[in-house]
Structures are given as C-alpha cells and as structure tokens.
Structure 1
Amino acid sequence: MKPITDPKVQAAFDGFPKEAQDMAMALRSLIFEVAETTPNVGVLTETLKWGQPSYLTAQSKSGTTLRIGAPKNGGCAIYAHCATNVISTYAETFPGLDQIEGNRAVHFKHSEEIVPERLKLLIQHALTYHL
C-alpha cells in the first residue's frame, strides 16, 4: 500500500471512527490502483478538501476529484463532484446494489459492501472524466 506522505491527510484518516478507517483505506488503495493502471491519468495528488482525503489528477488534469469521508450516520463514503455524472452513471450501471446519495456519493456501512470490481469503474470514470 502506498504510504501517506501528508501529515494532514494521515490525521484525517486517523480521525475517522475505527469502523470506518479500514473501509477508507480500502477505498484509498482502490483509487491508487486504478490510477496506476489507467492510461493518461498520471500521478495522483493526495490532499485535503473540505477536511477529507481527496485525490486529484493535478498533473494530467484528466479527471475530477474523488474524496473519502466518514458520514455522521456511520460507515464510509466515496464522493465525486456533484456537478459531474460520475455517481449517477454508476448508480444507473448497478441499480439497487449500493446506497447512493444523489449525484454526490456512494455510502458503505460495512466493508463487505465495498465491491472492488464495481467501484473500479466509478473510480476510472472519475479519473478520466475530462478525457
């Protein structure tokens, strides 16, 4: 797993409730895995946006930002910019399989709900959104 080099990002992950930390790190790993295996994405920038670990294609400008958060009602979530169709396309592709929050996020209450085969498509769509 790629180490976290920004102490502020590490502090954000450390601040998640214990039950959300493993899920958040699994989502982080998936984001980096997809970025490394998707042409034209390039190196990701890991930073904080709105206090959440965020992933930008700052070098290539190929995609839209993804964020990882711990919602107040528990669990973990992956967020995409609400003005994009990243979440809505995912929801249409896999209807009824995940807890979707509008065009903004996919929520996970338990780690078993994180299905890499599906989420990789969401992540790839976000990281190549501008291509």
Structure 2
Amino acid sequence: MTGRARTLIVQAAETVPDLGPLAESIKWGEHSFTPQQPRTGSSVRIQTRDNGDEALMFICHTGLVDTFRDLYGDRLHLEGNRAIVLPYGEPVDEAAVRHCIALALTYHRRKRHRDR
C-alpha cells in the first residue's frame, strides 16, 4: 500500500472533533479504517489497483458517494456508488478528499442527528 490514501485518511480523522482513534484492520483483503467508538462512522477501505491507482472504498448503501458527487463531482474521480479513485501520479484535490473521508468517518453520528 502506498502512503497517499492512508495519509489522507489519517489527516481527515485528525480534523474531526471527538472522533477518537481509528481501528485499522484488513477487510476483504483491503486496509480498512473505522472509528473505534461505536456508531460513529462508516469504514473507509483502501483498494490498491494493478495500474498503481488507489481507490478509497465506501459502503455503497450509505449514499456517501452520491453526497461526494453532489459536493465535488467536478473535482474528484468518483466510481459508481463505491469509490473515490486517486489516480497514480496525478494530483488530486486533497482538501476535497479529506472532507469526503471525514463525512464517512462521521456518517452514523450525523445520521443520528438528522433523524432527531
């Protein structure tokens, strides 16, 4: 795993107040990052591709990638309803990617507040 995707995840987590530490594990053969505090957020996985691209993978039924598309569809490489692709050797809008990661890591917390 290259460091760019992991670095963006760690940086994004550092910007979220009261998030707490992330649990890092392997899920479906991919590095996965989830807030250790229960019912806080959704996982973000890193899928490394044969061409050197990295994809930040999100759970499809959350609708997160649709939200990312609404916010940054013209600035990020989005793939279906599951991923933000970080093309190998190409610049990315890191601030936008970090914001999207932060939205994923706080998904359940934000959803609870909306449902009230």
Instruction: Give the TM-score category using the shorter length.
Output: 0.7 to 0.9
CA–CA distance in structure 2, aligned partners of residues 56 and 34 of structure 1: 12
Q: Which of 18, 31, 44 is matched with 2:22 structurally?
A: 44
CA contact (8 A) 2:52 2:88 kept: no
User: One-letter code of the match for 1:36?
Assistant: E
Alignment RMSD, CA only? 1.7
Deviation at 1:108, TM superposition (A): 2.4
Look up the SS of the partner of 1:45 in the other structure: strand
2:87 alignment partner, one of 109, 113, 124: 109
Query: TM-score, normalized by length of structure 1?
Result: 0.74
Shift of 1:100: 1.4
The answer as to 2:49 corresponding to 1:71 is: yes
Which stretches in structure 1 are left out of the alignment for 5+ residues? 1-12, 14-20
Identical residues among aligned pairs (%): 33
**Contact 2:51/2:88 (CA < 8 Å) preserved in 1?**
no
Structure 2, unaligned runs of 5 or more: 110-116
1:130 match: secondary structure? helix
Q: Is the 8 A contact 1:41 1:57 kept in 2?
A: yes
The aligned amino acid for 1:96 is D
Runs of 4+ in 1 over 4 A off after TM superposition: none
Q: Identify the match of residue 63 of structure 2 among 85, 102, 105.
A: 85
